[in-house]
């Protein structure tokens, strides 16, 4: 089996992947994943950053498909970054604000926060974009990343087959698309579908785990990254029908 480069990382910025260093044939495995962005990649930071949320963000039935409990992810199960980490044989990427020990971040860290913007609130307001409150933005996430790097010893169309309702929300209100202005998934008299795997949307705002898996497959196996991840990590890449991270579920039962 090929050995892994000790300093190789995968950086996920929104939906863009990049290798930290060119992979060689004898150094094909990545050892860590670092992700940035908004709710598409947020594995739980929102509930830590906005402490006045009191656990209201993404409550049950969020997480019911895979984790069988709410984890802070804005979907019924895993996100794109979860599938990518799993395919690389790595643990799910923990939220940065969930802990600060070297051991906690041994497999990387997630800096994404739901509602985050690429540009700062000041810039957006100066250019006529109204914002009710300040939000997390990419510069802040990069600052957290730089702080983490200071810790010692941390860094040494056919695809959618089976999704029968691509535009319909599995969890939400009444109506054909399952979207309501008054009823939200996890709050009030919401409705929940029988099989989230057949739906393209989880809550009317975020994709379902099934769609995230399709996107992750495209990034890992397709031509959406340069260099192609499949070419540079073929010795350690795996994306089975049932991910090998089943054992990671126990982390969310603590």
Over residues 69-98, the pLDDT tens digits come to: 999 999 999 999 999 999 988 899 999 998
**CA dihedral for 109, 240, 212, 198, sign (positive or negative):** negative
What the block records as the tokens of 79 is 């996100």
With contact defined as beta carbons under 8 Å apart, do 138 and 36 qualify? Answer: yes
Which strands, in side-by-side order, build the sheet including 16-19? 16-19, 9-13, 32-36, 108-110
What the block records as the tokens of 133 is 């409150």
What CA–CA distances, in Å, run from 81 to 18, 134, 156, 190, 215? 13, 26, 22, 28, 10
β-strands 191-192, 27-29 pairing: unpaired
What is the pLDDT, as a whole number, of residue 36? 94
Q: Cis omega before residue 253 (within 30°)?
A: no
What is the pLDDT, as a whole number, of residue 18? 34
Q: What is the pTM of this model?
A: 0.67
Instruction: Convert the pLDDT of each residue in 97-140 to its tens digit.
Output: 987 677 788 888 999 999 888 888 888 888 888 876 678 999 99
């Amino acid at each position: 089996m090929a050995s892994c480069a000790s300093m190789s990382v995968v950086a996920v910025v929104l939906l863009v992947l990049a290798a930290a260093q060119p992979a060689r044939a004898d150094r094909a495995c990545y050892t860590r994943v670092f992700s940035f962005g908004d709710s598409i990649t947020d594995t739980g930071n929102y509930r830590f950053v906005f402490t006045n949320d009191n656990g209201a963000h993404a409550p049950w039935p969020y997480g019911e498909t895979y984790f069988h409990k709410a984890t802070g992810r804005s979907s019924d199960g895993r996100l794109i970054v979860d599938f990518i980490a799993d395919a690389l044989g790595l643990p799910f990427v923990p939220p940065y604000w969930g802990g600060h020990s070297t051991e906690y971040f041994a497999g990387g860290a997630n800096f994404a926060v739901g509602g985050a913007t690429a540009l700062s609130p000041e810039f957006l307001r100066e250019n006529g974009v109204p914002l009710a409150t300040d939000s997390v933005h990419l510069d802040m996430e990069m600052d957290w990343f730089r702080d983490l790097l200071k810790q010692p010893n941390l860094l040494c169309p056919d695809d959618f087959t089976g999704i029968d309702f691509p535009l319909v929300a599995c969890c939400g209100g009444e109506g054909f698309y399952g979207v309501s202005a008054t009823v939200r998934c996890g709050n009030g008299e919401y409705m929940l579908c029988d099989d989230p795997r057949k739906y393209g949307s989880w809550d009317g705002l975020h994709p379902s785990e099934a769609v995230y898996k399709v996107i992750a497959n495209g990034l890992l196996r397709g031509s959406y990254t340069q260099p192609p991840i499949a070419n540079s990590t073929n010795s350690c890449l795996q994306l089975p029908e049932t991910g090998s991270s089943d054992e990671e579920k126990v982390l969310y039962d603590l």
